[in-house]
Structure 1
Amino acid sequence: MTETQRPLLEVQGLCKQFPGVRALHQVNFDVIPGEVLALVGENGAGKSTLMKILAGVQPPDEGQILIDGQPVSLANVNQAMDQGIALIHQELNLAGNLSVAANIYLGREPKRFGLIDSRAIRSASAQHLQAVGLQVSPDTLVGDLSIGRQQMVEIAKALSIDTRILIMDEPTSSLSQGEVERLFDVVRSLRDRGVSIIYISHRLAEIEELADRVAVLRDGENAGLLEKDQITHDAMVSRMVGRDVSRFYQRTSTPPTIDSDATPILKVTDLVVPDHPQHKVSFEIHAGEIVGMAGLVGAGRTELLRCLFGVTPPVDGDIQIDGTYTPIHHPIDAIKAGLGLVPEDRKEQGLVIDFAVEPNVSLASLKAHAWLGIWIDRQREQVEAAEGIKDLRIKTPSADQIVRYLSGGNQQKVVLSKWLVMNPKLLLLDEPTRGIDIGAKEEIYRLMESLAESGMAILFVSSEMEEVISLSDRVLVMHEGHLTGQVSGGDINEASIMNLATGIQAVS
C-alpha cells in the first residue's frame, strides 16, 4: 500500500448493543482519501448506528476508530468535528428562520471585540457557497430555499469546519432529478479535492453511478466489499439480503374488473386544495384498486392526500365515500368515514417515536375500542399489537420495544398496522417505501396487493417510477397542483407518465 492509498479512516471491530437489539457486531472497514465509499444494507443492518458513532452522536461498546493510523476518541459531536468528520442527516438539521450564513456558522460564530463578526461570517459563507455552486446570498433565509438548496447549505456548513470525511445519509430522498444531478456534481468535486465521502442510499442506481467502492452490512455485520468493477445492482442486493432478488417487483394479482354502475369508494369532485387554489381536482377510486399518484417534486400530491384526510381542509369541492357526501374538515372526520393515512414523514407524523410498539399500534383505535368510550381496553391493545407484529412480520424483540430503536422498514410496518386495526375502506399511502430497504419494500408491496384483493382501495404517492409502474392498476398524474391525466393498463409506462408529469395533457 502506497502513501496515497493509506486509509484516512479505519473502523476496527466496532460493536454496539441496544436493549434487545444487537446493532453492530465486529464491523470493519476503511475509507481512502478522496473516494466515495457507499454503505448499503437493509433497514436494521446497522448503517445509521455506525454513522452516529463516527459522528460522535453515540459511543461504541467495543472496537476502535483510527484517523491517519492513530486511534481517536469520538465521544461527542465536537470531537468528531475536530477530526474533520461531518454528518448530513436525511432530515436536514437547519434553522429555517435564520440566514444561510447564520446556519453555516451556528454555534461557531467568529467574534470581534467580544461580539459576533457578521461581516466575517457573510464573507466566509460566500466562499463555501461558491465551493458547492450555490448561487444565493448568505443573507437569504434558509426557510425560503428548496430542499435541494438546503442540502447544499448543509454541505457548505460541513466545508466550513474543514471536513475531511463527509457522511451523507440518504441525501437524495427528497430531491428532484435536477437537484440530484447537481448534488452528484458537488460530490465528485469534493472527491477531486481529496474529501472522502461515505454515501448511504437505498437507491442502488445512484450507488452504481457514484461509488468507488461499496461496503455492505447485513444484520449488523460485514457482508462484503465491492470494488469499482464489481459494483452492480445484483451484486449489492445479493449481499444485502443474502439471496437473489428480482430487480423490480412483479405483481401477482390482476386488476379488478370495475362495473360501470359500481359506486366508487372515493369520488372527488372539483376539490380545491389550499396550496393550489387555482386548480380543481376530480377523480374516483373503486374497491380493490391500487391507484398510484405520480408527479415531480412540488406537484401537489402530498398536499392532496393531506386534504383528503382533513389535515388541511379543502377550500371547495365535494368528497363522497361509498356514494355519500362526506365533509372532511379534520382527520377525525376521515377516520370515521373509513380512511387511513400513512404519511411521508413517519417519525414526525405517523408515530410517537418514544412510545413502544404496542401503544403505537393502538393509537388510531383507542376511542373506538375503549370501554364505554373512556377506559383503554388493555387486553385488546395487547392482542392487536401481537397480531400486527405477526401479520406484518415486524422485527422487534417484543411489543414493549421503543419504536425509535426499530429500523425504518419496521417503523413503517407499525404505522401500517395502526391503520389496519381500523380496517379502513381506503388507505392513503404517501411515499410508503421511502428510505427503506429492498427486502422491506417487497413485503410492503405484497401487503398492498393482499389488502387490495380483500377489497380495500389504495391510493399511493411515490416518487419511484418503477414502483408506480409495477404496482398500479391506474396512475393519476399531477403537475403543479393540476391533475393532468391518468393512464391505465398497457399505457402505464415511463414515457406516458413523464409527459403528464411535465404538464403535457393526456390524449383521451
Structure 2
Amino acid sequence: ELVSLIVGKEILDTEFATPTKNVQLSLNEFGTHSAGPLTLDIFKGEVIALCGLRGAGQDEIGRAIAGVVPATRGSISLTGNILNYRKVSEAVRLGIGFSTSNRETEAIAAGMSVKENLFLNPLLWGRRFFSPISSKKERSLTFPHLDKFGVRPRDPDLSLDTFSGGNQQKVILARWFGLSFNVMVLEEPTMGVDIGAKADIYGLFKNVTEAGTSLIIVSTDMEEVVRVANRAVVFFQGKPVKIVEKSDITFNNLISIASNLVPMATSGGHN
C-alpha cells in the first residue's frame, strides 16, 4: 500500500504463466575461457535468471549467448538447430536479441530523439542500411510503441536522454520487444529504475513470455530474480553451481548459494 501511494498507482505482483515443455534453447557444456560450462534446456515462454554476485560469471555467459563475446566451448541450439555465430548481428538474425545493462554507453544515442533511438538499427526492422524512412513516418510508427510500453512523456520528438531511467529502459525494450524473437537476453533490465517502472517492465515480460519468447535475465538483483524467474542458475567464481527450481527461489537461498555459504557440488550446471 505504501509503494502504491508513493508511485501514485496500484502496484500488483506480476503472475507469470508456467512455461511450456517445448525446448526453445539448449546449452551443452557452453562457456567462455572465464565462465561456464553450462548445460541447460530453456523452455518456450520461460524466464531463466543467470544470477550471482557481481563478476561471478553470469554476465559473461549471457553475453556469449547473445554473441557479444565469443563462446569458446560447448554448443548452443535453437529449436533443435545447432547455431554457429560470433556477433550480435548474427545472433539477432537467428532469433536471439540482446539488451545491455550499459544504457548510456551501449544502448542510447545521446542527443537523439525517442523515435530515432527506437528505430536506431534499420536491420532490426527489416530495412537495409542507407534505406531511411521519413521523419513523419518514423513519428507515426513510434506512437503505438509508446502506448504499448507506457512511455511517458508521450512525445517521440523529445531527446531520449532527458527521460527518466525507467522510461529510457522502456524505449530500449520496445526496440526489441516490438519484434518477434525466440530468445531475449536482458542484462540488469531494471537497474536504476523506480518501483513503478519496474512493475510496468515486469508486465512487459509477462506479455512477451505468453507470446512464446524465452527471457534470459542476467542479474545481481536477487529480489528481482525471486519475483520473475521460473528457474535460476546461480554462479560463483565463474561457474554455475546450482540450478534452483521455482519453489526454492528465495532471496536467502540465492544469496547463500551465490556467496558459497552452502556446501554444494559444482555439477557443471546440469539440469
TM-score (norm: length of structure 1): 0.49
Say whether residues 1:240 and 2:240 are aligned partners.
no
User: Could you say which residue in structure 2 is the equivalent of 1:251?
Assistant: 14
Deviation at 1:353, TM superposition (A): 2.1
User: Could you say which residue in structure 1 is the equivalent of 2:143?
Assistant: 386
User: Could you say which residue in structure 2 is the equivalent of 1:473?
Assistant: 230
Cα distance in 1 between the residues matched to 2:141 and 2:58 = 31
> Residues 368-407 of structure 1 correspond to what in structure 2 (within 5 A)?
368-370=125-127, 374-378=130-134, 381-407=138-164
Cα distance in 2 between the residues matched to 1:388 and 1:472 = 25
Cα distance in 2 between the residues matched to 1:367 and 1:431 = 22
RMSD in angstroms over aligned alpha carbons?
Answer: 2.3
User: Could you say which residue in structure 1 is the equivalent of 2:80?
Assistant: 323
| Greater RCO structure (CA 8 Å; 6+ sep) | 2
> Residues 325-474 of structure 1 correspond to what in structure 2 (within 5 A)?
325-366=82-123, 368-370=125-127, 374-378=130-134, 381-474=138-231
Say whether residues 1:267 and 2:23 are aligned partners.
no
Corresponding letter in the other structure for 1:256: P
Instruction: Tell me if the contact between 1:356 and 1:401 (Cα under 8 Å) persists in the aligned partners.
Output: yes
Number of equivalences = 264
| Counterparts in 2 of 1:498 and 1:335: CA distance versus 1, 3 Å | same
Cα distance in 2 between the residues matched to 1:418 and 1:464 = 23
| Counterparts in 2 of 1:485 and 1:367: CA distance versus 1, 3 Å | closer
Deviation at 1:316, TM superposition (A): 2.0
Secondary structure, counterpart of 1:312 in structure 2: coil
Secondary structure, counterpart of 2:77 in structure 1: strand
| Identical aligned residues as a percent | 27
Deviation at 1:243, TM superposition (A): 4.6
| Counterparts in 2 of 1:269 and 1:396: CA distance versus 1, 3 Å | same
Larger Rg: 1
User: Could you say which residue in structure 1 is the equivalent of 2:251?
Assistant: 494
Say whether residues 1:290 and 2:53 are aligned partners.
no
Instruction: Tell me if the contact between 1:429 and 1:459 (Cα under 8 Å) persists in the aligned partners.
Output: yes
Corresponding letter in the other structure for 1:265: Q
Instruction: Tell me if the contact between 2:26 and 2:78 (Cα under 8 Å) persists in the aligned partners.
Output: yes
Instruction: Tell me if the contact between 2:51 and 2:234 (Cα under 8 Å) persists in the aligned partners.
Output: yes
Secondary structure, counterpart of 2:254 in structure 1: helix
Instruction: Tell me if the contact between 1:431 and 1:462 (Cα under 8 Å) persists in the aligned partners.
Output: yes
Cα distance in 1 between the residues matched to 2:141 and 2:66 = 24
| Counterparts in 2 of 1:368 and 1:465: CA distance versus 1, 3 Å | closer
Instruction: Tell me if the contact between 2:114 and 2:157 (Cα under 8 Å) persists in the aligned partners.
Output: yes
Deviation at 1:331, TM superposition (A): 0.7
Instruction: Tell me if the contact between 2:14 and 2:199 (Cα under 8 Å) persists in the aligned partners.
Output: no
Deviation at 1:368, TM superposition (A): 4.7
Cα distance in 2 between the residues matched to 1:304 and 1:380 = 38
| Counterparts in 2 of 1:251 and 1:300: CA distance versus 1, 3 Å | same
Cα distance in 2 between the residues matched to 1:241 and 1:353 = 27
TM-score (norm: length of structure 2): 0.88
| Counterparts in 2 of 1:271 and 1:282: CA distance versus 1, 3 Å | same
Corresponding letter in the other structure for 1:240: I
Cα distance in 2 between the residues matched to 1:385 and 1:274 = 41
Deviation at 1:364, TM superposition (A): 3.4
